[in-house]
Structure 1
Amino acid sequence: MDEEHTFEVVVGVDGSPQSLLALEWAVTEARLRHGQLRVVTGWQFPAVAAGMESLPWEFDAFQRVAQRIQARALKEVSCDGVAVSSEIHQGPAAAVLLTASKDADLLVVGSRGHGGFTNLLLGSVSSQIAHHAPCPVLIIRPKHPARAAI
Structure 2
Amino acid sequence: MKAPVIVGIDGSARSLRALDWAVEEARLLGAPLRLVHASRLLAWDGALTEEARTALKAERTGWLERAAERARRRRPGCRVETELPAEDPVQALVKAGENASLIVVGARGSGGFEGLLLGSVGLFVASRATCPIMVVPESAPDPEQAPGHIVLGVDKGRSAEHAIGWAFAEADRRGAALIALHAIGTGYGSPRQRVGEQMHLAEALAGWTSRYPDLTVERRPVEGKAAAALVAASQDAALVVVGARRRHGLPGGMALGRVNHAVLHHSRCPVVVVPAS
Q: TM-score range by the shorter chain?
A: 0.7 to 0.9
Match among 24, 31, 34 for residue 28 of structure 1: 24
Is 1:60 paired with 2:54?
yes
CA contact (8 A) 2:68 2:80 kept: no
Q: Distance in 2 between matches of 1:143 and 1:96?
A: 26
Q: Distance in 2 between matches of 1:72 and 1:84?
A: 12
1:144 Cα deviation from its structure 2 partner: 7.3
Q: Which has the higher contact order (CA 8 A, sep 6+)?
A: 1
Aligned to 1:100: 96
CA-atom RMSD in angstroms: 2.9
Is 1:19 paired with 2:27?
no
- Given residue 61 of structure 1, which amino acid in structure 2 is its aligned partner? A
Q: Distance in 1 between matches of 2:87 and 2:124?
A: 14
TM-score normalised to structure 2 length: 0.44
Q: How does 1:67-86 map to 2 (within 5 A)?
A: 67-77=61-71, 78=73, 79-86=75-82
TM-score normalised to structure 1 length: 0.77
Indicate the larger mover: 132-141 or 64-73.
Answer: 64-73
1:26 Cα deviation from its structure 2 partner: 0.6
For 1:29-84, what per-residue CA distance to the aligned partner results, in whole angstroms no more than 9, with x for missing partners?
111111111111112229xxxx6247432332221111011122223342413211
The structure with the largest alpha-carbon Rg is 2
Equivalent pairs counted in the alignment come to 136
Match among 85, 105, 112 for residue 108 of structure 2: 112
Structure 2 residue runs of 5 or longer lacking an equivalent are 142-234, 236-277
CA contact (8 A) 1:8 1:36 kept: yes
Q: Distance in 1 between matches of 2:140 and 2:20?
A: 17
Match among 135, 146, 165 for residue 139 of structure 1: 135
Is 1:38 paired with 2:37?
no
Q: Distance in 1 between matches of 2:6 and 2:126?
A: 14
Structure 1 residue runs of 5 or longer lacking an equivalent are none
Which secondary structure state, in structure 2, belongs to the residue aligned with residue 90 of structure 1?
coil
The runs of at least 4 aligned residues of structure 1 exceeding 3 Å deviation read: none
